[in-house]
Structure 1
Amino acid sequence: MSHHIAAGLTRSHRWYRHTALLTVLLIIFGGFGPTANHSGVFHSGIFSPQPAVAGPATAPGPGWAHETSDLKPDPNIVFGRLSNGFRYVLMQNQRPENRVSLHLFVHAGSLNETEDQRGVAHFLEHMLFNGSTHFPPGELIRYFQSIGMQFGNDANAHTGFNETVYDVILPQGDAQNLEKGLLVMQDYAMGALLLEEEVKRESGVILSEMRSRDSAGYRTFKATLTFELPDFLVSERLPIGKATVVRHANRKLLKSFYDAWYRPDNMMLVMVGDFSIPTAKPLIESRFGPFTARAAAAQPPVLGHIAHQGVQVFYHHEPEAGGTSVSIETIRSEPPAADTAQARHQRMIEAMADRIVQSRLDSRLKAPETPFTSAAVGSGTYLNHIRYSDISADSSAEKWSQTLAAIEQELRRALLYGFRQEELERVRKDVLKQLDNAVRETPTRNSTTLARSIIHNIAENRVIRSPEQEESLLAPLVASATLEQVQKAFRDNWSATHRLVLVTGNADLTQTSRPSPQAQIRDAFLAAAKVAVSPPEAETATPFPYLPTPADIGQVASRDVLADLGITRIQLANGVRINLKRTDYKTNEVLANLIFGHGRSSEPESRPGLGLLAEPTVNESGLGGMDTDKLERAMAGKSTYVDFRIGETYFNFFAESVSDEMELLFQLLYAHIIDPGFRDDALALARERLHQDYQSASRSIEGMLKIEGTRFLAGGDSRFGMPSSFSAIRAIDLADIRNWIIPQLSSAPLELSIVGDIDEATVIELARRYLGALPAKSESNVTMRTTLPHLPAGSIRRIAVDTQIPKALVVSAWQTEDFWDIHRTRRLSVLADVFSERLRERIREKLGASYSPYAFNRASRAYDGYGLFQAYVNVAPDQTSAVLQEVKAIAADLVRKGVTEDERLRAIDPMLTSIKQYRQTNGYWLNSVMTASGRSPQQFAWARSFVDDFRAITVDELSRLATTYLIPERAAAVVIAPKAP
């Protein structure tokens, strides 16, 4: 639902623009749609109801979608079906190398449950990790670790309304590893033990998961869904289930669902990665050919009906929400339709229409009279049955009615007056560029991303297509689309005779002296509808670049090639450093970091929270000569953007681009250096968004960790976490931000690192042109604090939160060391993994007290001697003391007895697999090796030793670190729980 999406749109304006453009393509390619995570909490960027039908809305049916369509499937995909009805999809793909993404899709989820089974689909998903034919209870995760896989990252599952999917990411694609992965999948499909004692224990874990997922947002979602679909099964079958069913579940209940729905003709295997298809086929036949149904097929559910009429109003008050969301929606049934060329044409035209309206909403964001802080519009079809359209916005509580009026009038403006030609041309350029980029990136797509897109397409009964096929189909349509077509598509999407008007969040409309909340909302909506709207104003495009190209070209003072790493280092005569690496990890991807100064470590003590406010303010300001709205118009049809970021040790302009836009990348970086923007309207927007974040954080367990806990663990250092009062943020003005950043941007040395699908000679020449002529710079004369953060050893900070959500958080911490002894830092990370595994075994598996406890070591690059080894455990409020003691006992046991060889292997082997994959990404080389290497050249040596050093870690080293750091006297803790009633 878009009003839920809008609640999350608190990042930069430009970030949302690029996300929305990608969404246009995902809609067309079939990869866009709601998913349910492991908790069963439904996440959607679009409205997600289902139709009034007697059976599952998206049943794949006996054949493939392309068999009844005029669309041809991707020729690189192999489709297969065994005689028992079990299906498989195979696709070879080499990114990342050697890895295989393996998924078992079960076409059954919470919609397939009866009333007394609510939560069983999700419960069963958990149970398949707790005992099967070949893996006794407790052994499957150990098995994953033994073959180099990490539970969570490489082995996981999720349950949705009409699907359950099991994921296994294999470390190799040879026959032996395929056998191992298929053995696990076979056990999922037909080998669940469902032991009674395991069911009882796992119920505690699931109840803990329910508690950990509970939030103001989730409660709003459930209430909203009941309003939107009062007579539809979706609103009564959230995948997480009912606590009473989970608490009393037994083997019989779970097995009845397992046998009814885990059938060969209701399941499918998807395998994408670096493997041989001729090798895989007989292995699949061997494992799944003998699979027979254990019970008669269950009857499909009766899903209900949808019958909205007129103006219907919904109000839901959540005092713990940070802001208020306002939406206008339509929801109606639509007969299922085949996936055809015409259908995809129509979806594309609709997406283009929505994008025009989205651009209008975006352009209003920083206008002084605009009441909302983010807004979104969307439409489409979900599960082949439901047409939805919605427009939504977020605001502060006191501006809900103005926000409702704003989105109603923006919607009506589009419906009455349509669009302007320049708006269509802007979207046309963007979509054509995105289609082209998708084709260019085809050779190096990620296997897991591909596999999940395939699963989604099949679940939605859509033809699986390649980017080349989609560009061939859609580019001519986009190029020739007319205003009339796009306007008609938008009006058709909003042609329903009803309107659903929703106000949710922290706006309290229950004052007794006024009409009911529903009456207030209806009156506001009807009043807004009476206000006349004017046609959209013409857009004027401002050319970019607007700064003259530098006349002088800088000279190369030194050049150094690190042949073994494939990195070239350049120093220009003016002192600017350039680090370059050409890669083939991802075709057409270019990433860059331009760093300067000292980042958040230089934040003045008198201005706590300056970094929190400065980053979004700069990003929302655009450039000195172009605000973000003008800049976005100038960037139509381009794929390059620059974001300002504040790290612990430096400020950073991060850039993402494509291979044929290298000069544009340098032009943007140059403009940000020469003519940065600092605007009052951007500050006001950033401050209001941050205020909403504060309101939400101050009423949540996790939020109060940021506001009070993080700073406590740093000894009160204001550079950590969020200020305890928003008044500190309110006191910051634009001069504070400018006076902090500009001196460092003006005088500090610059270092640019750029990696990806680049031509090295071209990049060097552009760097000489745009960076080489800049004035020479020396270290900025910024005053740095002399005080250092420190852990208040031996202390416990108890924080009471004004919340109705019954959950708590325990954080135990030990001070370690800073980052710069890389051998120690790496070993502390392995020790944290060992600690995490003990937390899982003792707190999750044994006690059932927490869904996902974990530990990590965070070593500082900015502060000498400061690092924190931390254990995080979400628990019930009445379990904080017991869990805190359990965490202390785990630490004491590691100090007393040390780490075992089995624990070392189960931590390091998956890490080595992940490291090998991580090294095949541009992000690793940019962020971990090249960025700031001019300041810290030892990073190159770290890259060389990355694999071997982890492989060489010993039990004795890990045990010594535990003895050194995890002793009781060095510990501190934060315990956050709801206030006593």
Structure 2
Amino acid sequence: MKKSLSILTLVLFVLTGTFKLNGQTVTKTSHKTNQTSTFNSAEKIPFNPEVTKGVLSNGLTYYIKNNGKPENKVELRLVVKAGSILEDQDQLGLAHFMEHMNFNGTKNFKKNELVDYLQSIGVKFGAHLNAYTSFDETVYMLPIPSDDPEKLEKGFQILEDWAHNALLTEKDIDEERGVVLEEYRLGQGADERMMQNYLPKVMYGSKYAERLPIGTKDNLENFTYESLRRYYKDWYRPDLMAVIAVGDIDVATLEAKIKSHFGKIPKATNPRNRDIYYVPNHDETFIAIEKDKEAPFSQVRVLFKDKDNSKEDTTLEEFRHSITESLFSQMLNNRLDELRNSENPPFVYGYSFHGGTWADTKDAYQSFAMTSPDGQLKALKTLLEENERVRKFGFGEAEFNRAKKDILARFEKSFKDKDKTESNRLLGEYIRNFLVNEPMPGIEWEFNFYKAQLPTITLEEVNQLISSYIKDTNRVIVLTGPDKEDLKTVTEQEVLDLLASVKNTDLKPYEDKEVASSLITTLLPEGTIVKEETNTTLNTTTLTLSNGATVTYKKTDFKNDEILFDGFSFGGTSLYSDQDYKATVFANNGLTEAGVNGFDKVELGKMLSGKIVNVRPRLSGLTESISGSCSPKDLEELFQLTYLYFTALNKDQSAFNSYINKQKAFIGNMLASPQFYFQDQYSQFVYGANPRYTGFPNTEKLENADYDLAYKKYQERFANAGDFHFYFVGNIDDQKLKSFAKKYLANLPSTNTKEDYKTFNFRPLSGSHTKIVEKGTDPKSSVRIVYQGETDYNQKDEYYLNSLAEILTIKLIEKLREEEGGVYGVGARGNLNKIPYGWYNFTISFPCGPENVDKLKDAAIAEVEQIIKNGPTDEDLAKIKEAQLLERKEDLKENRFWLNTLKNADYEGHDVNKLLEFETSVNNLTKVDIQKTAKKFLTKGYILGIHNPEKQ
């Protein structure tokens, strides 16, 4: 089964007939489902009966599905089965350049008109409107309101223009070169340099090693107009295209739109052959050891490439085989996760899977690990040994059963929410079905198939997979990491010796310890609910518990299989002395690595097999908090874990050592990265005068972290549950939640006191300052313009400042990207905080070439000054209003939005009912409000942070 580059990918009877629709010849797909626990292994995987798939007479394929989430919105995609792999030698980078040009002038939308129009209907450039180019495909993404016929028609017109109406004028092409070159510049760095060296070995003998989608700087600067036009003519044609429409509108309307817009595109005459490119096999083991002085991380990759070219599953037997592969990956990755949680972990994290490479035509069994700078050989040895352990001894029955439970639980969750899944989450499998013929039977069929077949899969079947994965041919080992004088470089011979020795290593079978069946061993007597209040406006219920704790919950039907949870009380690390804070700040995140109630992290994972639940306690500057999520059926486990994190957090020096060792490995060379280095230096400049400032973690700071004190302080902070407020949002059963609240929350320890956070005298830097940092060899700079300072807080100013940032982002894109061609991305962000004190922050940031720093900085400031002087335009104000109203409409149907809103109202002392006044606030927003806000907050100087490369 073909799988993408991920740890686990569980992919989702075609009978054809031809008839006429609106004068067009259409090949339609009808559907047949035949699901039993036993099956004809040669039977074809069915096609999702809820999806309409057709092929127009000109060869264009389409997919349509009615989907009601979110309401009044349709997601459109144009998929072109053409990417950088099809470029001629004079076209390097032009598949991607063509993607850009479709936003810069088409028959019906001249340059800038397309983005301008979409912004006017609330579609944001980058956030909503976007596209990507890969080796084998180019995909355009367009969300459109579906409740307005005119907007829907315009959306399809845009999609049609992308397909065959690009203008490609010489002026527009030349103006876009600067933007694409800036995107090229962004990709430069240690990772790119190392990849250029190892990719020819990974993709040995194939065109994939020579066709990175970004192309080459020389060609982007110098390609001829005809080269780009030829690419568009050759590959943007209906037989290589698919149109996908999924959203809240009837199928007939969408089908008619596709017919009318795409049926008239002429069928290609004498089309150029769309070749498929393969990756040749090789007997040798290729080893790539790549180093770079600016590499922040060390990594190890092992690839055992399949001998045969990849093919998609088509039969039920092949689909069943994919389940065995998923079980294999699940179990092996569980073992690797145990190793990373050992006291001296061999890697920061590691995983293995069988799936896709950079080439659609070649799959591989792959293992990956992130390591310490000097730990690459150790990590490689561990990955190889764990594969060898499976080869020699196989997996055990207990871990096999846990893997089955976990996989089925994930599918059950998807199945339960099948009618409440957002449209943009459904599109991926349609795209893959068109590009590589990945099966898409639909989640209902898949869930039933998994339920029926998982019990029939034997452990022997899974254990046999390793023999087909591991081989001495088609093998590639890739090591990437820092180039440092004090770091011994791994040699190719050392890798070869290790490969040879692993087979003779004296390995023992994996030891799977028995685990308890219950999380709770002792439980305090349950408490009571002493008061219950309802907010009929927001449909929330608030419970006051006998220990003083408060629970607010909101029942929703946004998802069938989701409950989200959060809770906090004030205090946090602000109540620590300066000395205690510094001693514990780098230890706090490692406290939960020990597990709870005598169960370590690994045991907890095993005990929770087949359950969808997680809980995370946290200590922050102002609060102690706890959050999580679960499936409704696992709500009691969520309450149990919450109870245990309050009352029974383990103290385990070995587990803490594991955390510290992983942290040291992770950050070992991070500051070699110019970008991380700039962040660190800028942070010191702005916040360094704070007596509690700790800066970037390093080995010494991590080794000096005081675990004993951190654990003691954690117990103190979670000793009083009486001043906690807990929040639950989702598919809640009232009686169960109330019962669990009494059983697991109302009995938590309480001191009957309400604490608050402590406010300190320190304030970050504000006013006019400049910090220039020179680091790195690549010709890339970044600019940060920050207006910030103390202020009196009010909610209106918070909304105005956010809106000002949205308007300024529109102007900066127009000026710095479209007019100057000097940036790939640019944006502004505004924040106004109430606690611990009133503080505003307004940041403009963008990357660019060193030669353009001053010019673009001045241009950005000029846009700020323009708004201060004249306010925004009517058009720009209308754009951000429309976007805000559309986003809020969708937010009101999201559990996460409600959870955050309910919590933040209490956190900041707001009237939560005012969220229903948002539409009025948007409608009342004026240009004068924005102008006054700009005058109030953006006229007191700014901090200018600039990152430049080192002078050569």
For the criterion TM > 0.5, the same-fold answer is yes
Partner of 1:177: 151
What's the CA shift string for 1:493-540, capped at 9, x where partnerless?
2246453222211266999xx998222322343344432111111331
Structure 2 residue 946 is matched with structure 1 residue 975: yes
**Which one-letter code corresponds to 2:304 in the other structure?**
T
Q: Which runs of 5+ in 2 are unaligned?
A: 13-25, 33-41
Structure 2 residue 854 is matched with structure 1 residue 881: yes
In the TM superposition, what is the alpha-carbon distance from 1:646 to its structure 2 partner? 4.6
The within-5 A match list for 1:213-292 is: 213-292=187-266
Following the alignment from structure 1 to structure 2, what is the Cα–Cα distance between the partners of residues 600 and 81? 62
The within-5 A match list for 1:76-95 is: 76-95=50-69
Following the alignment from structure 2 to structure 1, what is the Cα–Cα distance between the partners of residues 612 and 865? 53
Q: Which runs of 5+ in 1 are unaligned?
A: 6-19, 30-60
Structure 2 residue 338 is matched with structure 1 residue 367: no
**Which one-letter code corresponds to 2:884 in the other structure?**
M
**Which one-letter code corresponds to 2:596 in the other structure?**
L
* CA distance 1:807–1:654, change in 2 (3 Å): same
Please point out which of 301, 304, 315 is paired with 2:289.
315
Please point out which of 176, 199, 204 is paired with 1:202.
176
Q: Which segment drifts farther, 111-120 or 399-408?
A: 399-408
Structure 2 residue 322 is matched with structure 1 residue 347: yes
**Which one-letter code corresponds to 1:626 in the other structure?**
F
* CA distance 1:491–1:255, change in 2 (3 Å): same
In the TM superposition, what is the alpha-carbon distance from 1:621 to its structure 2 partner? 2.5
Contact 1:259 1:293 in 2 (8 A): no
Following the alignment from structure 1 to structure 2, what is the Cα–Cα distance between the partners of residues 613 and 515? 30
**Which one-letter code corresponds to 1:345 in the other structure?**
R
Partner of 1:388: 364
In the TM superposition, what is the alpha-carbon distance from 1:780 to its structure 2 partner? 6.5
In the TM superposition, what is the alpha-carbon distance from 1:689 to its structure 2 partner? 3.8
Contact 1:373 1:685 in 2 (8 A): no
Following the alignment from structure 1 to structure 2, what is the Cα–Cα distance between the partners of residues 980 and 496? 47
Contact 1:125 1:157 in 2 (8 A): yes
SS in 1 for 2:696: coil
Partner of 1:805: 778
Please point out which of 455, 465, 476 is paired with 2:431.
455
Structure 2 residue 923 is matched with structure 1 residue 951: yes
In the TM superposition, what is the alpha-carbon distance from 1:85 to its structure 2 partner? 1.6
Contact 2:60 2:241 in 1 (8 A): yes
Partner of 1:358: 333
SS in 2 for 1:623: coil
The within-5 A match list for 1:863-878 is: 863-878=836-851
What's the CA shift string for 1:954-974, capped at 9, x where partnerless?
10000001111112x421111
Partner of 2:879: 906
Partner of 2:625: 652
* CA distance 1:702–1:605, change in 2 (3 Å): farther
Please point out which of 817, 838, 850 is paired with 2:811.
838
Contact 2:806 2:828 in 1 (8 A): yes
In the TM superposition, what is the alpha-carbon distance from 1:224 to its structure 2 partner? 2.5
SS in 2 for 1:584: coil
Following the alignment from structure 2 to structure 1, what is the Cα–Cα distance between the partners of residues 648 and 825? 46
Partner of 1:403: 379
Contact 1:334 1:384 in 2 (8 A): no
Following the alignment from structure 1 to structure 2, what is the Cα–Cα distance between the partners of residues 515 and 563? 67
SS in 2 for 1:28: coil
**Which one-letter code corresponds to 1:423 in the other structure?**
E
Partner of 2:507: 533
**Which one-letter code corresponds to 1:186 in the other structure?**
E
What's the CA shift string for 1:74-122, capped at 9, x where partnerless?
1111112222122211101111111111111111111111121111110
In the TM superposition, what is the alpha-carbon distance from 1:791 to its structure 2 partner? 3.1
Q: Which segment drifts farther, 440-449 or 373-382?
A: 373-382
Contact 2:278 2:362 in 1 (8 A): no
SS in 1 for 2:532: strand
In the TM superposition, what is the alpha-carbon distance from 1:360 to its structure 2 partner? 0.9
Please point out which of 728, 737, 747 is paired with 2:710.
737
Partner of 1:759: 733
Following the alignment from structure 2 to structure 1, what is the Cα–Cα distance between the partners of residues 792 and 468? 58
Following the alignment from structure 1 to structure 2, what is the Cα–Cα distance between the partners of residues 527 and 562? 68
* CA distance 1:485–1:612, change in 2 (3 Å): farther
In the TM superposition, what is the alpha-carbon distance from 1:381 to its structure 2 partner? 5.0
Q: Which segment drifts farther, 576-585 or 559-568?
A: 559-568
Following the alignment from structure 1 to structure 2, what is the Cα–Cα distance between the partners of residues 599 and 876? 42
Contact 1:788 1:864 in 2 (8 A): no
Q: Which segment drifts farther, 820-829 or 727-736?
A: 727-736
Contact 2:834 2:908 in 1 (8 A): no
Partner of 1:73: 47
Contact 2:324 2:462 in 1 (8 A): yes
* CA distance 1:601–1:184, change in 2 (3 Å): farther
Partner of 1:378: 353
Partner of 1:685: 658
Following the alignment from structure 1 to structure 2, what is the Cα–Cα distance between the partners of residues 646 and 182? 49
What's the CA shift string for 1:641-687, capped at 9, x where partnerless?
11234555423222110111111111111111111234333433333
Contact 2:540 2:553 in 1 (8 A): yes
Following the alignment from structure 1 to structure 2, what is the Cα–Cα distance between the partners of residues 897 and 532? 77
What's the CA shift string for 1:800-839, capped at 9, x where partnerless?
22x2333121100111566952211111111001111121
In the TM superposition, what is the alpha-carbon distance from 1:310 to its structure 2 partner? 4.2
Structure 2 residue 308 is matched with structure 1 residue 329: no
Contact 2:532 2:543 in 1 (8 A): yes
Q: Which segment drifts farther, 317-326 or 302-311?
A: 302-311
Contact 1:175 1:279 in 2 (8 A): no
Following the alignment from structure 1 to structure 2, what is the Cα–Cα distance between the partners of residues 471 and 120? 42
* CA distance 1:239–1:593, change in 2 (3 Å): same
Contact 2:618 2:625 in 1 (8 A): yes
SS in 1 for 2:265: coil
In the TM superposition, what is the alpha-carbon distance from 1:936 to its structure 2 partner? 4.3
Contact 1:92 1:275 in 2 (8 A): yes
Following the alignment from structure 2 to structure 1, what is the Cα–Cα distance between the partners of residues 890 and 438? 31
Partner of 1:483: 459
Partner of 2:748: 774
Partner of 2:36: none
* CA distance 1:681–1:638, change in 2 (3 Å): same
**Which one-letter code corresponds to 1:367 in the other structure?**
S
Following the alignment from structure 2 to structure 1, what is the Cα–Cα distance between the partners of residues 490 and 171? 51
Partner of 1:439: 415
Following the alignment from structure 1 to structure 2, what is the Cα–Cα distance between the partners of residues 816 and 557? 44
SS in 2 for 1:872: strand
* CA distance 1:726–1:781, change in 2 (3 Å): farther
Following the alignment from structure 1 to structure 2, what is the Cα–Cα distance between the partners of residues 807 and 689? 31
Following the alignment from structure 2 to structure 1, what is the Cα–Cα distance between the partners of residues 664 and 489? 29
SS in 1 for 2:611: coil
Following the alignment from structure 1 to structure 2, what is the Cα–Cα distance between the partners of residues 624 and 707? 38
Q: Which segment drifts farther, 233-242 or 120-129?
A: 233-242
Structure 2 residue 402 is matched with structure 1 residue 426: yes
Q: Which segment drifts farther, 620-629 or 686-695?
A: 686-695
Percent sequence identity is: 23
Following the alignment from structure 2 to structure 1, what is the Cα–Cα distance between the partners of residues 398 and 221? 59
Partner of 1:931: 903
What's the CA shift string for 1:526-559, capped at 9, x where partnerless?
344432111111331123313324333x222222
In the TM superposition, what is the alpha-carbon distance from 1:123 to its structure 2 partner? 0.2
Q: Which segment drifts farther, 325-334 or 463-472?
A: 325-334
Partner of 1:58: none
Q: TM-score, normalised by structure 1?
A: 0.89
* CA distance 1:885–1:517, change in 2 (3 Å): same
Following the alignment from structure 1 to structure 2, what is the Cα–Cα distance between the partners of residues 848 and 126? 12
Please point out which of 491, 494, 497 is paired with 1:517.
491
Please point out which of 104, 111, 129 is paired with 1:137.
111
Partner of 2:477: 501
SS in 2 for 1:708: helix
* CA distance 1:824–1:426, change in 2 (3 Å): same
Following the alignment from structure 1 to structure 2, what is the Cα–Cα distance between the partners of residues 691 and 860? 33
Following the alignment from structure 2 to structure 1, what is the Cα–Cα distance between the partners of residues 260 and 708? 70
Partner of 1:34: none
